[in-house]
């Protein structure tokens, strides 16, 4: 039997807290990345490629949690802006390999310095920052593992 329904106010909802934080981070990063004319999804794409380049579109999508329908146009724009290079795999033309351009390699220290100085504005020490990230990651993994279709409602709950 399911747990009896308790009315949870909007400001008490974990989903609303995460949604609000996500929106605020997106605005925060939009301002921080504006000098480089990068969007947040482009920034996380660069982060993944700085860690491991080249990657296929599929591998990259897995790292940044974007599907190919979202990632492909983003990568085309990044190529036009000079951040990445896209090349068909010589052995399998269905695969496209993504690598960093020289511009992206050269800009990495400046982008990191700018974003890191903006992160200082959060007023979190490293321990608090890491603990917060770990809690958010824990919540994300729990959400990923949960199956809302498994909830059983009794007639008196409807």
What band does 75 get if pLDDT is binned at 50, 70 and 90?
very high
pLDDT tens digits along 95-153: 889 999 999 999 999 999 988 887 788 888 889 989 999 999 999 999 888 877 777 76
Mean pLDDT score, 6-31 = 89
**SS3 helix, strand, coil % of the chain, rounded to 5?**
65, 10, 25
Domain architecture of the chain: domains with CATH: 14-140 (1.10.10.10)
pTM of the predicted model over 0.95: no
Pairwise CA distance, residues 34 & 54, whole Å: 25
Per-residue model confidence (pLDDT) at position 121: 84
As beta bridge partners, residue 45 has: none
Strand runs labelled E in the chain: 55-56, 84-88, 96-100
Residue 28 has which token pair? Answer: 């925060």
């Amino acid at each position: 039997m399911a747990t009896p329904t308790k009315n949870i106010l909007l400001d008490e909802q974990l989903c609303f807290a995460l949604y609000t934080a996500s929106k605020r981070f997106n605005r925060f990063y939009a301002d921080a990345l504006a000098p480089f004319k990068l969007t947040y999804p482009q920034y996380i794409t660069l982060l993944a490629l700085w860690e491991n380049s080249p990657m296929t579109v599929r591998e990259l999508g897995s790292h940044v949690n974007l599907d190919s329908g979202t990632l492909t146009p983003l990568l085309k724009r990044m190529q036009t802006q000079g951040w990445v290079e896209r090349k068909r795999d010589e052995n399998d033309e269905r695969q496209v390999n993504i690598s960093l351009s020289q511009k992206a390699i050269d800009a990495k220290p400046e982008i990191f310095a700018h974003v890191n100085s903006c992160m200082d504005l959060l007023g979190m020490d490293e321990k608090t920052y890491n603990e917060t990230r770990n809690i958010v990651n824990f919540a994300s993994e729990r959400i990923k593992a949960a199956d809302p279709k498994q909830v059983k409602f009794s007639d008196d709950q409807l």
